[in-house]
């Protein structure tokens, strides 16, 4: 039988699990922010599946940055349309 290649989603969860000790060491408020960032990484798992040849950590960080940029844009629009 051939070997099964783990999915990007499985890679993502594995990477998040690798950071579990770091998460535990954070203060409670920082843990909440950490969890929000990991949620943002999970949001783009479908797109990440198409980049199987890339480092999954880099893809996770790009997914987080994409979500943060969307938040920046939303806040700019709420402030009065700057740079929307």
Asked if residue 3 belongs to a domain, the reply is no
- By residue range, what is the domain housing residue 46? 8-80
DSSP SS3 for 72? helix
Mean pLDDT of all residues in the chain? 87
pLDDT for 3:
61
Q: Is residue 6 very low, low, confident or very high in pLDDT (cuts 50, 70, 90)?
A: confident
Nearest alpha carbon to residue 39 among 21, 23, 55? 23
User: Which tens digits make up the pLDDT trace of 14-52?
Assistant: 999 999 999 999 999 999 999 999 999 999 888 888 876
Q: What is the pTM of this model?
A: 0.75
Q: Terminus-to-terminus CA distance in the chain, angstroms?
A: 53
Q: How far apart are alpha carbons 22 and 19 in whole angstroms?
A: 5
Asked if residue 66 belongs to a domain, the reply is yes
Nearest alpha carbon to residue 59 among 68, 49, 73? 49
Asked if residue 2 belongs to a domain, the reply is no
Asked if residue 1 belongs to a domain, the reply is no
Q: How far apart are alpha carbons 19 and 16 in whole angstroms?
A: 5
pLDDT of 8 higher than 80: yes
**Which residue has better confidence, 80 or 25?**
25
Q: Structurally, how many domains does the chain consist of?
A: 1
Asked if residue 25 belongs to a domain, the reply is yes
């Amino acid at each position: 039988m051939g070997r099964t290649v783990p999915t990007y989603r499985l890679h993502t969860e594995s990477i998040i699990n690798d950071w579990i000790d770091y998460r535990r060491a954070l203060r409670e408020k920082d843990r909440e922010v950490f969890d929000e960032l990991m949620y943002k990484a999970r949001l783009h798992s479908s797109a990440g599946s198409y980049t199987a040849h890339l480092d999954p950590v880099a893809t996770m960080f790009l997914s987080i940055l994409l979500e943060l940029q969307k938040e920046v844009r939303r806040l700019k629009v709420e402030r009065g349309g700057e740079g929307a």
